[in-house]
Amino acid sequence: MSRRVVILTEIIAPYRIPVFNVLATRSEIDVHVIFLSRTDRSVRDWRVYEDEIRFSYEVLPCWRRRVGKYNFLLNYNVTTALRRANPDVLVCGGYNYLAAWQALNWAKRNQIEFLLWCESTAQDRRSRHLLVEWLKRKFLHNCDGFVVPGHSALEYLKQFASPQQKIFLARNAVDIELFAAKEQKIRRTADRLRGELALPARYFLFVGRLVRSKGVMDLIEAYSQLNPELRSQISLVFAGDGPLRAEVEALARDIYPGSVHFAGFVQRDELANYYALAECLVMPTHTDPWGLVVNEAMACSLPVICTNVAGCAEDLVRENGIRVAPGDVRQLSEAMRTVATDADLRRYMSRESSRLIQNYSPEACAAGIAEAAVTSGAHLHA
């Protein structure tokens, strides 16, 4: 008999749809997803690919406001939706919103197994406020178990988990087949597409929000520190938008020789164009629970330069790339020089990215979640 699994998560993110679609095909579970909101346009204006959804879901009515760096989200009918969904296991994606606390309390009252799907790591600097840390520990203490995307989150949660709380690994994933197929098609028409998108012949690629915590100021400075001859041969492309765009553009205008291009926010289906034509993804983040752009870039066979504080770094950035310390501009610039000047190394890293990412498929992620849902009960009630 299949177990009824309800997943409570924030938005209809494009990278989660393939995972939930696979979960819906597994015979050992009966999955239903409750979204707290369709999207969050204050952070990133993701397209909602509803035509791709093949799983049971609903979107709760909500009220959302962003005040400075704080994102407030209040939902209506949380417990009503949970009672109607009637789960055997409730998987909650995070603890940041009131709905998560409501779900935890509801699960405890009704003796429903509660698993936290958690991406936090020891390097995550997004909050060190004492009250926030106390609330987080209280929330974690009341969970029955955890689902994590990789080894950094696994090691972090070991600090908090009791012997009764089991941790399950569900490798973070994007639709690697979609990106790989687009990459192959794009390479066949590379010259034409470069012209249409006004992209340079060679470039480093950054994908993400243009905010200080993503290391964009480090990246523009690291590019400026490359020797002039190399800058004249390879450019830098930012695919993303954010409050620092004007400041980064101003710095870019002072770099000569060299060129820096700003593509603005790019939707998922168009992102493969930028990955496939780039020479290397650079992710200089100061803090990031994972960094799914690394998954996407690897699916398009890109080498990766990534800071060692990104949640994905330990799992994904191996012989396919270079890890650097956050905020170390000299080290970042040297890594960029190394990749840009060694074609054989780029080819090797490209092959390694394509090979390594096969273990981070929607099927692998879904298998981890299904294992957690099916075996947690036996573990908890043994």
Summarised one tens digit per residue, pLDDT across range 242-266 is 999 999 999 999 999 999 999 999 9
Summarised one tens digit per residue, pLDDT across range 270-326 is 999 999 999 999 999 999 999 999 999 999 999 999 999 999 999 999 999 999 999
* Cβ pair 206, 221 in contact under 8 A: no
CA dist 77 → 82, 146, 264 (Å): 9, 25, 37
What the chain holds in terms of domains, given with CATH numbers, is 3-173+361-380 (3.40.50.2000), 176-359 (3.40.50.2000)
CA 230-232-233 angle, to 5 degrees, is 65
pTM recorded for the entire structure: 0.95
Burial of 375 (0-12, 13-18, 19+ CB in 10 A): middle
The whole-angstrom separation of Cα 360 and Cα 56 is: 24
Summarised one tens digit per residue, pLDDT across range 34-92 is 999 999 877 777 899 999 999 999 999 999 987 776 788 999 999 999 999 999 999 99
**Backbone phi, then psi, for 59, in 5-degree steps?**
-120, 125
**Residue 55's closest CA among 22, 88, 87, 82?**
22
